[in-house]
Amino acid sequence: MALSGGIRRRTYANPYGARVDAMSSDTRTDHPGAFLTDVETLRRLAKAHIEQGVVTDTYEGDVSRTIEILQAVLATEIVCVLRYTQHSIMATGLASESVRAEFAEHARQEQEHAMAVAARINQLGGAPDFNPATLTGRSASEYQTGADLVDMIRENLIAERIAVDHYRELVRYFGDTDPVTRVMLEKILSVEEEHASDLQDLMATHRHRPAAS
Ligand SMILES: [Fe+2]
Ligand SMILES: [Fe+2]
């Protein structure tokens, strides 16, 4: 379509899903989006390394390091699933019904985290490591059973506090170099903070009660 200045303008779909206007004349530098890589270059680069999936030339992170970090995160989440599941079964007694329900809910959410992290590893070209033989060595959190209800709550609170610290650090680490991984970790972090808060409340409620049998 011809514009008033006689410049032809075409609209392209760019790799980020937004639409970018590009001019067919040499006046691109006058365009507000001129600092962006031109679409022809983006298309050429995307086609040149098509086997690398989402890892394009504009990925600013270190892909192998990102995968390595996410493998540790995956192990941490799987250990959390296992610990919460075991606790949800072992927490017995009248006073523990609400705690069991909370543990089971946390186990389900940790499973969602594990799946999101595994999917991201796969997107980046890695194979998510679910090997049970090396799981605890790769995990930031520990698989601790508890002698009683308060013990279990305490162990989970410790694990959640470790997770919160770990994820905050990782969110800062990824910054703008891998925004998709960072946003995923921010979402997980907000749930881990809720978990820590839930456990703190449970601890306050059950600390002075007799241990469940
Ligand atoms: Fe989690
Ligand atoms: Fe959690």
Q: What is the pLDDT of residues 5-14, one digit of tens each?
A: 433 443 333 3
Query: Domain for residue 213, yes or no?
Result: no
173 CA to centre of ligand 2 in angstroms: 20
Contact 163, 76 (CB under 8 A): yes
The interaxial angle of helices 97-123 and 179-206, nearest 10 deg, is 170
Query: Domain for residue 5, yes or no?
Result: no
Contact 87, 103 (CB under 8 A): yes
Query: Domain for residue 104, yes or no?
Result: yes
109 CA to centre of ligand 1 in angstroms: 6
Query: Domain for residue 4, yes or no?
Result: no
35 and 117 both lie in a single domain: no
111 CA to centre of ligand 2 in angstroms: 10
178 and 134 both lie in a single domain: yes
13 HSE (CA, 13 A, CB side)? 1
Ligand found nearest the CA of 162: 2
112 CA to centre of ligand 1 in angstroms: 8
28 and 96 both lie in a single domain: no
Ligand found nearest the CA of 112: 1
CA 15 to CA 102: how far, in whole Å?
42
Contact 82, 89 (CB under 8 A): no
Query: Domain for residue 12, yes or no?
Result: no
Percent of the chain with pLDDT over 70: 78
Query: Domain for residue 10, yes or no?
Result: no
88 Cβ neighbours under 8 A, 6+ residues apart: 100, 101, 103, 104, 107
Query: Domain for residue 76, yes or no?
Result: yes
- How many C-beta atoms surround the C-beta of residue 103 within 10 A? 26
72 and 39 both lie in a single domain: no
Confidence of residue 47 (pLDDT cuts 50, 70, 90): confident
Query: Domain for residue 138, yes or no?
Result: yes
Ligand found nearest the CA of 196: 2
114 CA to centre of ligand 1 in angstroms: 7
15 CA to centre of ligand 1 in angstroms: 31
Rg (CA), the chain: 24
91 and 164 both lie in a single domain: yes
Confidence of residue 141 (pLDDT cuts 50, 70, 90): confident
Polymer length in residues for the chain:
213
128 and 28 both lie in a single domain: no
27 and 118 both lie in a single domain: no
CA 195 to CA 108: how far, in whole Å?
12
Host domain of residue 33: 17-48
The interaxial angle of helices 149-174 and 63-90, nearest 10 deg, is 160
103 and 193 both lie in a single domain: yes
CA angle 105, 107, 111 (to 5 degrees): 115
43 and 140 both lie in a single domain: no
69 and 159 both lie in a single domain: yes
Q: How many domains does the chain have?
A: 2
102 and 156 both lie in a single domain: yes
85 and 133 both lie in a single domain: yes
Percent of the chain with pLDDT over 90: 59
Confidence of residue 59 (pLDDT cuts 50, 70, 90): confident
80 CA to centre of ligand 1 in angstroms: 7
Across residues 48-61, what is the average pLDDT? 74
Beta bridge partners of 21: 11
Mean pLDDT of the residues in the chain:
82
